[in-house]
Chains A and B, each alone.
Chain A
Amino acid sequence: MPLRLRHPRWLAPVTLVLSVLGLADAAYLTFEHYSGSSSLACSDSGAVDCLKVTTSQWSSVAGVPVALLGLLFFVGMTALCLPPVWRRTTPGLDAVRIGAAGVGLLMVFYLLWAEFLKIHAICLWCTGVHVITFVLFFALLFGQILRVPVDDVASAPEPAAGDTQHVE
């Protein structure tokens, strides 16, 4: 008989909170991008210089602002981390979440390369997005590894609404 596994209980709420925080941060950066960054709440001199980063040539990829790419990424991640989606047993959904977060992490590496080696400044709001993406990716990865057999928790209290059961 195949072994039925479920994610740890912390995974659904943690990933949803991270995704919503990332969404808010990316939405702010996108708003600032399209409004000329005139009201960007950040230092504008020295190593922390948001304006220098958000108006640099690396703030767009193939003409698309990275702030907008970040916003789209977190819209997708928020949708994937909603409780009803966590409850789904669709095959491959975990792989899609981890894969998407992995792509996000690669983008973070590209942006860190640009900030540290090309622009020589960092943007606090962008760093917020980077940290959230990093934590989100590894939370999903650890959550995947720490799945437990349903039988092991049969004697435990009733599972939370976000708990998922998968078949391995």
Chain B
Amino acid sequence: MATPTGREKLAALQAQQARAARQKKLLAITSAAVVVVLAAVAVFFVVGQNKKDSQDKKAVSAASNAAYIDTVLSIPATTYDAVGHGSANTAPKAISGKALTKAGKPEVLYMGAEFCPYCGMERWSLTAALSRFGTFTGLKSAVSTANDNPANIPTLTYLHAKYTSKYLTFTSYEMADRAGKKLQTPDKASAALFKKYDSGGSIPFIDYGNKAVSVGATYEGASYMQNVSGADVAAKLKDPNSAEAKGIIGAANVITAHLCQLTKGKPSSVCASKGVIQAASGV
């Protein structure tokens, strides 16, 4: 092999230096790319956090206007009939326990929490259904937690609610607030029913006089109820063809059909109504 000439050695050295310079430049560019990628992730995080905080504040602010609760308590019979079964996608399951009664009347037991999004959805329908048999007072507006999926479901809370009816009694436990802080503790009998019929411990849990129980919401409202105001949802209830009416009022009719089994069909103006009969047959 021939010995390299001085000119060849110089060319090799220059090529090596050029290569080293190019390598240095590429390393700097790639290092900068690492920084850019990490910065982009940080921006994602900060923007996401700000968006979440903003939605949270908006949801809490919207819930401070409780006027929508009156809408839930005064849905016209014609709207119930027009919706019928609606988009209710589940129904309470029949059980054969010892009849649950209080003050000589069938008892409906609700166990949930203010942070829980599906409790938030179910309260709309349960409240509407129960209001057809009696009168609520002390209902307050509320919103489920921002840290769950779905987030910020506008709703109402039973924390300070009172219910009077000549047909039924209603017992409710909001076991935790929006932040998950403990609120009401169920009595032993209620806790035993919860343990017996809801082994997974999921909420909302509703026991209909020990004749039927439900775990979870009776309709799926996640797509149209998160991060909106209660007033917006209530406004949509006036249109029987809206997703909100089909979900909330459809589920209310299904629940009403079960309440009618407890009240033995009373009052007939409710239990013999077209919407309830259709919901019962849909079940």
Contacts and interface: CB of A to CB of B under 8 A. Distances in A.
A160 interface: no
A56 B223 CA distance: 12
A112 B44 contact: yes
A117 B51 contact: yes
Tell me the interface secondary structure of chain A in the complex: helix
A47 B48 contact: no
Contacts of A45: 147, 180
Interface stretch (A28-36, A61-69, A89-97, A141-149): A141-149
Contacts of B41: 112
B interface SS class: helix
Given A112-B44, A120-B48, A134-B37, A145 B147 contact: no
Contact of A142 (B30, B47, B49): B30
A117 B30 CA distance: 27
A113 B44 contact: yes
B26 A145 contact: yes
Interface residues of B, number: 25
A121 B149 contact: yes
Interface residues of A, number: 25
B242 to A, nearest CB: 22
Nearest to B56: A120
Interface in B41-72: 41, 44-45, 47-49, 51-52
Nearest to B145: A45
A109 interface: yes
Nearest to A46: B147
A47 B34 contact: no
Contacts of B49: 116
Contacts of A120: 48, 51-52, 146-147, 151
A46 B49 CA distance: 12
A119 interface: yes
5 closest A-B pairs (Cβ-Cβ)? A116-B48, A116-B44, A145-B26, A117-B48, A120-B52
15 contacts: A3-B15, A45-B180, A116-B44, A116-B45, A116-B47, A116-B49, A117-B48, A120-B48, A120-B52, A120-B147, A120-B151, A141-B30, A145-B26, A145-B27, A146-B27
